[in-house]
Structures are given as C-alpha cells and as structure tokens.
A and B are shown apart, each in its own frame.
Chain A
C-alpha cells in the first residue's frame, strides 16, 4: 500500500464496536431510565407513597381525589428528579454520557454518510429499517441538541414560552416549555410538541432497531431464526418504550400548570406559592384529605424509594 492508512482505518474495528457499544450501554441505558422517569408524570398516579411528604406534616391545603392523583404524579416525578440530582458521582455519569453521545453521533453521521440508501429500487422491509436507522439518527441528533439546549443550557430564545426549566419546578416548567405557554397552547408550542413527538419516536426506533442490529454485529444472533426471534424481543422493547415516551409527553402536555406549581411549591416549602388546590371539593368528606406542609421537607430524605 502506498497511502498511509487514516486514523479511522487503523482503528476501524475498535471504533465500530465502540460505536455499537456506546449506542447500547451508556446511551441506550440512559434512554430507558430517562423515559421511564418521565413517564412517572402519568404512572406516578399509582405510587401511593408519593404524597407522603405532603401528608406528613400539618398542611394548609386540602386536596380532593383529582388533587391527590396530581400530587402523586408531580410528587413522584419531582422525587425522581431530586433523586437523580443527588446521585453520587453524577458529574462522572454525565461526562461519560456526554462523551458517548458525542462519539456515537459524530461517528454515526460518518457511518451514515458512507452508505447510499436504495429503497426505491429495493423496497424490502430490511432496507427500510436500514434507511430509517440513519434518518432517525439525524432527527435524533437535532432533537437532542434542541432538548438539551433549551432545557439545560437555557437557550430560552428557542422556547416559545421563554421560561427556563428549573429543577425545583420540574413538572410545571416542562409542561410550559412543551406547550409553549403556561396555560393554553401557543402556536409555537404546537411545533415544540410535534418536535418532541418526532424526536422521541425516532430515538426509540433507533435504539430498538440498533439493539437488533447490534446482535448481528457482535455475532449474538447468527441463524435467520434467531435474528427473527430477537427481532420480536426488540420490537417489544421498542413498543414498551414508545408507551413510556408517549405517555410522558401526553402527561406533561395535559398538566395543569398552576396546580403543579403549587404542589411543587409545597414540596419545597415555598409558602408564597402554596395556593389552594381544591379540585373536587364536593367530594372531600369521603375522600382522603391531604395536607401540604409549609415546612421544608426535602424530598430526598424520604424513605420510600421507587
């Protein structure tokens, strides 16, 4: 050979396998954790312990059935957010994740550009999966940049509601960012919601299909039968994650901003924001009464782990 091999060529195998691995281990695992966490804004309703910190001390607010459910949902999600924020070595975890995403994205774009999609001529299902894997990678990348940029780096100029997301008010500020407005939807919010739906759906497809191809790449599934069987497992994983992702999105889009805000305030003991939430007051005699305390009850010290 006359030409000296490039860096990419010299470490070809390692880079390819690292690309596959990063897609699954830090990034994919994070995706699962992230989507399930977010879906607690809906499924938190079945978490009976979520309202405990609210019930724990003397409260000023009495809440009916719907209020109790909302408190469980917002309470669980807020608890999850606080839990993640208090994780030991969080910085290390974040750096690993950042590096992995950057690596996977940069090489992913290069790998995607190394092929020429030909679904027009060869319209096989597998070929569509291949092409979609590349498109969802690109869409996912744009979405991730928007998602992190607005909610994490404070690019509020890209948010129709202009209000930064805050840890303390994780549920309400997220709902406002998605709808583009605290209350009703704004026009911009419709686009943000569509972007989130597309981005989340793309990344879940990309991950589920990636787990399927990774099994071939590493040589786990060799026979056609095994590949098919593993395909069903990956489809199952994909649909489960779609369920989590979509319900999270729907949950935040439907969230009552003011009510969520007051529950968050109560959770953090910010009295001036603790306004009355009296959703179905007529039922109060029969339903459990919940007291929201004004004292500072840090969520993370709460015993009930989810």
Chain B
C-alpha cells in the first residue's frame, strides 16, 4: 500500500473520479453526479488532498465529467481536523469524516473512484449535508452535562483518581459525529420529532451518560440519566451487534460503556423496586 502511494507521489498529478449522491432535500430529486478531480500527491508535506479539499475544488468550477454545469455540492464542515464531526459522510460505503480522509490513502491510483453519500440515519438537508438535531436532542434527554448553575458558589471541583481520568478522557473525545449511529442496526432514521423521545438513543449518548455519571459533580444528576436510559429507547434497545465500537473514529470503548450503563440501570432499577425511589 505505502509502496503504491510512494510511486504515485513521484508520478505527480493524477485524476480521481468522484461519484456523488446529491439531493435537494430528504429524498427530494435524488441523483448521482460524477466529477473528475486532479490531485497531487502530498509527498511535499503540505497540500495533501482530502475529500473536503476535492469538494472545494469542485465548488470552484462545478462541471461534471460529462461537461454539464451544475452547482457546488453542499456539505457540513467545521474544524477540518477530525474533532468537530460535522463532515461525517459515507465514503466508499463506510461512514467516516471527510476532512481526515486522505486521497492518497483512499484512492492511491490514477482513475480511482471515490463514492460520496450522505449518512442514512439522519434526514438530508441538501446533498451531503444531514440534520443531526436528533443526536443533540437526545443528549438533552439524558441530561448529558454537568450541572453547575446554582444559587451559590460551588467551589473547586472534587478530585478525580487517575484511573477514572484515564477512562473519562477517552469518553470525553466523543464529537457527536454520528458514525456509531450510522453503523448501528438498532438505530433507525426517525424524521418525526414526536418519536425522538422513545426512539433508541444510540451508543454515543449512552457513553456520554456514563461520562457524566462518572464525574463527581455530574453524579449529582445521575438518577436523571439512569431514568432516561431505562425508558423506551434507552440502553436496553441495544442489540449488541457492536458495530458502533468498530465505527467510532475516536476508538471510544462504546461496548464497555453500554455494558457499564446496563449494569448501572440494573442496579438503579432494583434499588428503585425496593425503595420506591
């Protein structure tokens, strides 16, 4: 693989074909378009092409390979360094971030094809841009934050053990990109906002609930999160396919989070049964 890349790097410029699934809205005027984009190998260090830079190239002169003039392709983008998660899409059928998808790696040869599609678990706004609002609503539903608003000064936060830090640091890396949801067979697209309260929350939110429950101050609202995760769409709607952990670009141990929250909810419910809350 690296051999091919090096030899191409010496070869200089090559052409990569983009097959892009476009739409004017969710399921509206869905069509495929193809663009040929010249790329230069990034052996010089700077200028290594990625999927976003190619989309920018197309936007500068939106003409398909058949010579048809179109419009720039719409996509969501933010950090350009795989920390915001907004550029998540299906690249050659696999869900990942477009900004960190280097052309030298995913299409090393002249004439290679790269297929771009929007994620399938969220409604399409336009072209490759999807609406991930449900994910953020679900974070709210599970109180995925640390409550610090009060009527008095809370003082310095409590100490945390290094062991907990290790676990929590990894969990903190979640960027709500939605890769884990896209890959999950139990997480289905839900366009009706009414149903967001009972549809499966997905791995990211379960993991975030664990993250905030482990926080010394966040633990004060532990019950809210456990209650939310024991309701319809909570942790027990997971079917243990474990795709999420494979799909997560941040390698967050999602299946451990799911089991940890399964345990927490079990204990919470048993306590509730005997104490009546």
Interface residues, chain A, CB within 8 Å of chain B?
1-3, 5, 8-9, 12-13, 16-17, 111, 114-118, 121-122, 124, 126-127, 129-131, 133, 213, 216-224, 227
As a 0/1 sequence over residues 240 to 277 of chain B, the CB contacts with chain A under 8 angstroms (1 = contact) are 11110011000001011011111111110100000000
Q: Which residue of B lies closest to A218 (CB)?
A: B266
Closest chain B CB from A3 CB (angstroms): 6
The verdict on B239 contacting chain A, using a C-beta distance below 8 Å, is yes
The verdict on B198 contacting chain A, using a C-beta distance below 8 Å, is yes
Interface range on chain B (Cβ under 8 Å from partner): 35 or more
CB atoms of A213 and B185 under 8 A apart:
no
Known contacts A12-B236, A13-B230, then 15 further A-B pairs from the complex at CB < 8 Å, ordered by chain A residue: A1-B197, A8-B232, A13-B231, A17-B236, A17-B269, A115-B185, A118-B183, A118-B243, A121-B183, A127-B241, A130-B241, A216-B240, A216-B259, A219-B267, A227-B259
Q: Which residues of B contact A129 (CB under 8 A)?
A: 240-241
Interface of chain B residues 166 through 196 with chain A (CB within 8 A): 183, 185-186, 188, 194
CB atoms of A218 and B262 under 8 A apart:
yes
Closest chain A CB from B55 CB (angstroms): 23
Closest chain A CB from B216 CB (angstroms): 20
The verdict on B34 contacting chain A, using a C-beta distance below 8 Å, is no
Q: Which residues of B contact A9 (CB under 8 A)?
A: 198, 231-232
Task: List 18 contacting pairs A-B, 8 Å CB cutoff, sorted by A.
Answer: A5-B198, A5-B232, A13-B231, A13-B236, A16-B236, A116-B185, A122-B243, A124-B241, A124-B242, A126-B241, A127-B185, A130-B185, A213-B240, A216-B240, A219-B263, A222-B256, A222-B259, A224-B255
The verdict on B123 contacting chain A, using a C-beta distance below 8 Å, is no
CB atoms of A219 and B240 under 8 A apart:
no
The verdict on B93 contacting chain A, using a C-beta distance below 8 Å, is yes
Q: Which residues of A contact B243 (CB under 8 A)?
A: 118, 122, 124, 126-127
The verdict on B234 contacting chain A, using a C-beta distance below 8 Å, is yes
Q: Which residue of A lies closest to B272 (CB)?
A: A13
Closest chain B CB from A241 CB (angstroms): 20
The verdict on B131 contacting chain A, using a C-beta distance below 8 Å, is no
The verdict on B237 contacting chain A, using a C-beta distance below 8 Å, is yes
Partner of B266, one of A219, A224, A227: A219
- Give Cα A221–Cα B260 distance, bound, in whole angstroms: 8
Closest chain B CB from A211 CB (angstroms): 12
Q: Which residues of A contact B246 (CB under 8 A)?
A: 122, 124, 126
Closest chain A CB from B138 CB (angstroms): 15
- Give Cα A2–Cα B198 distance, bound, in whole angstroms: 13
Q: Which residues of A contact B262 (CB under 8 A)?
A: 216-219
Closest chain B CB from A135 CB (angstroms): 13
Q: Which of B239, B262, B263, B267 has the most CB of A within 10 A?
A: B239
Closest chain A CB from B171 CB (angstroms): 14
Q: Which residues of A contact B261 (CB under 8 A)?
A: 219
Closest 8 CB pairs of A and B: A219-B263, A130-B241, A126-B242, A16-B236, A219-B262, A9-B232, A12-B232, A213-B240
Partner of B253, one of A2, A111, A224: A224
CB atoms of B240 and A217 under 8 A apart:
yes
Closest chain B CB from A72 CB (angstroms): 43
Q: Which residues of A contact B263 (CB under 8 A)?
A: 218-220, 222
